[in-house]
Amino acid sequence: MTRKPTVAELARMIDHSLLHPTVTDGQIRAGCDVARRCHVATACVKPYSVPMCAELLGGSEVAVCAVAGFPHGNGHTAMKVKEAEMAITEGASEIDVVVNVGKVLGGQWDYVSDEIRTVNDACVGRGALLKVIFENDYLKDEHIIRLCEICTAHRVAFVKTSTGYGFVKQPDGTYNYRGATAEHLKLMRAQCAEFVRVKAAGGIRTLDDALRVVELGATRIGATATEAILAEARERLG
């Protein structure tokens, strides 16, 4: 986008994230209320809460996005497919699946490609779209480039930077993550075909963060700070 988005346009780029492992059903209900009031694209939720969220968001323009293989991507391909299929049956129209990072780092590209193709086929065949989470904090540029090529080949709807839970051990012994960095977003946008959209997730907590990733080519944003971002947008963007 060559201009700053309007408040409404920005809201429709946001997947309101309700994925923390400690989130209770009450907090999920409150999060769905936020998603509905803010007119975002989706509420992004854990698989077990899809039926509840589909009911809560019914009749609104807010869709339900479910995760699969989340957050580490280490399950069998068949289990990722089953998780996606069940979520779609229960009301999700978008699926965010995590790649098998170990297979990516091991260069087992046939496995990675087959898994992405299989999950994407399951989603597309049921009228849903797929976002493939790379977890860039674990990867080198060459891995990201190859994943972009694979997702382009299989015509995946979105590539996504991070889960927000891909913690890496730091030099001081603590664990943290960088999330949606400028260099990775530029690389992903450049290496994917135009029809593959980019979702930025991880560390997007302010309006400036959101505007930065949009300027870098992201058309969807994963965020927990949705209300704060949009409140700031109403003040500054009008």
Name every residue whose Cβ is closer than 8 Å to that of residue 36 and which is 6 or more positions away in sequence: 56, 57, 60, 62
Q: What is the pLDDT of residue 2?
A: 64
Please tell me the distance from the alpha carbon of residue 59 to that of residue 61, in angstroms, as a whole number.
Answer: 7
- Which is it for strands 175-176 and 168-169: parallel, antiparallel or unpaired? antiparallel
Residue-by-residue pLDDT tens, the chain, 238 positions: 567 899 999 999 999 999 999 999 999 999 999 999 999 999 999 999 999 999 999 999 999 999 999 999 999 999 999 999 999 999 999 999 999 999 999 999 999 999 999 999 999 999 999 999 999 999 999 999 999 999 999 999 999 999 999 989 888 999 988 999 999 999 999 999 999 999 999 999 999 999 999 999 999 999 999 999 999 999 998 7
Assigned token pair, 31: 């999060």
Q: What is the pLDDT of residue 183?
A: 97
- Which is it for strands 42-45 and 175-176: parallel, antiparallel or unpaired? unpaired
Instruction: Report whether 40 contacts 227 (CB < 8 A).
Output: no
Instruction: Of 104, 194, 204, 96, give the one whose Cα is nearest residue 145.
Output: 104
Which amino acid, one-letter code, is at 229? I
One DSSP character per residue, 119-170 reads: HHHHHHTTT-EEEEE--GGG--HHHHHHHHHHHHHTT-SEEE---S---EE-
Q: What is the pLDDT of residue 170?
A: 87
Classify domain 7-236 at the CATH superfamily level: Aldolase class I (3.20.20.70)
Assigned token pair, 33: 């209320």
The H or E element that residue 201 is part of is strand 197-201
Which amino acid, one-letter code, is at 125? G
Residue tagged active-site, from 80, 131, 137, 160: 160
Please tell me the distance from the alpha carbon of residue 65 to that of residue 160, in angstroms, as a whole number.
Answer: 13
Q: Each residue of 92-111: b (16+ CB within 10 Å) or e?
A: bbbbbbbbbbebbeeeeeee
The reply to whether 160 belongs to the active site is yes
Please tell me the distance from the alpha carbon of residue 145 to that of residue 112, in angstroms, as a whole number.
Answer: 13
Q: What is the pLDDT of residue 237?
A: 86
Residue tagged active-site, from 96, 131, 137, 209: 96
SS3 228: helix
Please tell me the distance from the alpha carbon of residue 226 to that of residue 39, in angstroms, as a whole number.
Answer: 10
Instruction: Of 102, 100, 92, 105, give the one whose Cα is nearest residue 116.
Output: 100
The reply to whether 199 belongs to the active site is yes
Please tell me the distance from the alpha carbon of residue 164 to that of residue 161, in angstroms, as a whole number.
Answer: 9
Residue tagged active-site, from 15, 131, 137, 199: 199
The reply to whether 169 belongs to the active site is no
Q: What is the pLDDT of residue 165?
A: 92
- Which is it for strands 129-133 and 175-176: parallel, antiparallel or unpaired? unpaired
Name every residue whose Cβ is closer than 8 Å to that of residue 175 and which is 6 or more positions away in sequence: 167, 168, 169
Q: What is the pLDDT of residue 1?
A: 56
Could you state, in order of their start, the residue ranges of all structural domains in the chain? 7-236
